[in-house]
Amino acid sequence: MMTKRGLLLSTVFVMLVILSACGSGNGNKPQAGNANSQQAEKQVTITFWHHYSTASPEEKTLTEKLIPEFEKQNPGIKVNAVAFPWDELHKKLQISGSGGEVPDVARLDIIWVPELQDSDLLVPLDEEFSDFNTVAQGLLAGPLSTAKVGDHYYGVPLNTNTKVLFWNKDMLQKSGVNQAPATMDEFFSAITAVKAQFPKGWGYGEPALQGWNVLPWIWSNGGDILSPDYTTADGYLNSQQTIDIISKLRTAYAAGEISGFKPGDVSVTEGHAQGSYAMMAEGPWSVAQFNTQFPDYKANMALFPAGSAGSVQVLGGEDLGVLSKDKKEESWKFVKFMVSESSQVEMGKIGQIPVNLAAMSNEEVQKIDYYPIFLEQLKTAKARPPVKSWPQIDNVLGDTMTRIFLTDKDVKAELDAAVVQINKLLQD
């Protein structure tokens, strides 16, 4: 039988055990702190280089909505988004191939993918990530193909686009043209009529003379830049179809019917809304710009004027590529988030045509009344040649067109000279 003294000692012993246990619990708190410290140490920052224009609706949506939401869903990952002008980003990525700074993820013009893959900068996503096929199945097949080089995918599409003909209804009607020109013959007649009615204006505004700008004219007229196997420009860039349409455009420029590509010219999109240019060929981002900067201007859109080969526009868009060597998983999570339905819907609202199939069917995207004309034009849009030297070829093309438009040099001779330069680039 336990005495009072024994009972007291037993009670004290139990209390000591309890206190000891409590003490051990308190002693674990620093360990919990260590776990938090370890979690903090695992905080990863990935760098995302892009070329959304600073303070544009796209950039604001990226930085104010999408990235905060991604970081909320992935508390261990931060995203440092850095904006560059389109051409500067391309140059920085080229330098990266020579040992320069490399971002973890980059928004790539689709024409850069073969070049950057050749420089061994891009991660082959289908080899690296087991769920790539699942992600790819939810994306539009055409845009997805722009990220494929050889047998592997080095990116996923972020958005797709093309251009349509914007026409200023007031300027055309005052010039005796009651609807958008459906054919090239109607187009050239219309810009002549506009110039007669608006001596200080222009029938058509073109902001540049590179492939993005001149290829639709060449393709629609039955010409081309390279052979179908991309091995030569001879017989294509200097074909009669190409010579004919470039000659017509130069004549229109000399008559003051086309402008916009020289330094100091009226900016094309702003000039179109303000009555300087009766027509222009631009993408869905222009509608967002009109809504923001010129809310009183109602944009009118039509298919690009058809030539002998139909209405053929250029396929545009951007891919997301992973360049990271040590943060691949975190980078891939961000890429997947950016092509998810919710992200694509947010970007879709401001003029970035989605590539996510579910987003295309989303009721908020379906409400966007100007998308149908672009989707129709996309049916006949063509991609620029998927060759690694395309950026250099594009420079040759731009320089050649500038000489043709700004001088009286022979068109065929200039195109023949360009063929020699381009073929050399194809062989390098």
Looking up residue 372, the CATH number of its domain turns out to be: 3.40.190.10
Q: Tell me, yes or no, whether 302 and 369 share the same domain.
A: no
CB 158 within 8 A of CB 334: no
Q: Tell me, yes or no, whether 190 and 282 share the same domain.
A: yes
Q: In a 10 Å sphere around its CB, with 0-12 CB exposed, 13-18 middle and 19+ buried, how is residue 158 labelled?
A: buried
Give residue 17's pLDDT: 34
Give residue 41's pLDDT: 57
Give residue 39's pLDDT: 47
Q: Tell me, yes or no, whether 308 and 334 share the same domain.
A: no
CB 342 within 8 A of CB 324: no
Q: Is residue 39 part of a domain?
A: no
| Number of structural domains the chain divides into | 2
Q: Is residue 11 part of a domain?
A: no
Q: Tell me, yes or no, whether 196 and 227 share the same domain.
A: yes
Give residue 24's pLDDT: 38
Q: Tell me, yes or no, whether 205 and 331 share the same domain.
A: no
Domain boundary among 378, 394, 413: 378
Q: Tell me, yes or no, whether 359 and 408 share the same domain.
A: no
pTM of the entire predicted model: 0.81
Q: Is residue 14 part of a domain?
A: no
CB 418 within 8 A of CB 232: no
Per-residue pLDDT of the chain (428 residues; tens, 9 = 90+): 444 334 333 433 333 333 333 333 443 334 444 444 444 457 999 999 999 988 888 999 999 999 999 999 999 999 999 999 999 999 999 888 777 789 999 999 999 999 999 999 999 999 999 999 999 999 999 899 999 999 999 999 999 999 999 999 999 999 999 999 999 999 999 999 999 999 999 999 999 999 999 999 999 999 999 999 999 999 999 999 999 999 999 999 999 999 999 999 999 999 999 999 999 999 998 998 898 899 999 999 999 999 999 999 999 999 999 999 999 999 999 999 999 999 999 999 988 999 999 999 999 999 999 999 999 999 999 999 999 999 999 999 999 999 999 999 999 999 999 999 999 999 98
Among candidates 155, 44, 110, 122, which has minimal Cα distance to 324?
122
For residue 124, give its domain range.
44-154+316-378
Q: Tell me, yes or no, whether 405 and 423 share the same domain.
A: yes
Report residue 175: phi and psi, to 5°. -95, 5
Q: Is residue 55 part of a domain?
A: yes
CB 411 within 8 A of CB 246: yes
Q: Is residue 9 part of a domain?
A: no
Q: How far apart are CA 105 and CA 89, in angstroms?
A: 12
Give residue 55's pLDDT: 82
Q: Is residue 7 part of a domain?
A: no
Cβ-proximal residues to 91 (8 Å cutoff; 6+ apart), any chain: none
Q: Tell me, yes or no, whether 239 and 268 share the same domain.
A: yes
Q: Is residue 304 part of a domain?
A: yes
Q: Where are the alpha helices (DSSP H) in 209-327?
A: 211-220, 240-254, 268-273, 285-293
Q: Tell me, yes or no, whether 209 and 245 share the same domain.
A: yes
CB 425 within 8 A of CB 396: yes
Q: Is residue 355 part of a domain?
A: yes
Query: Phi-psi category of 310—alpha, beta or left, where left has phi over 0 and alpha has psi -120 to 50?
Result: left
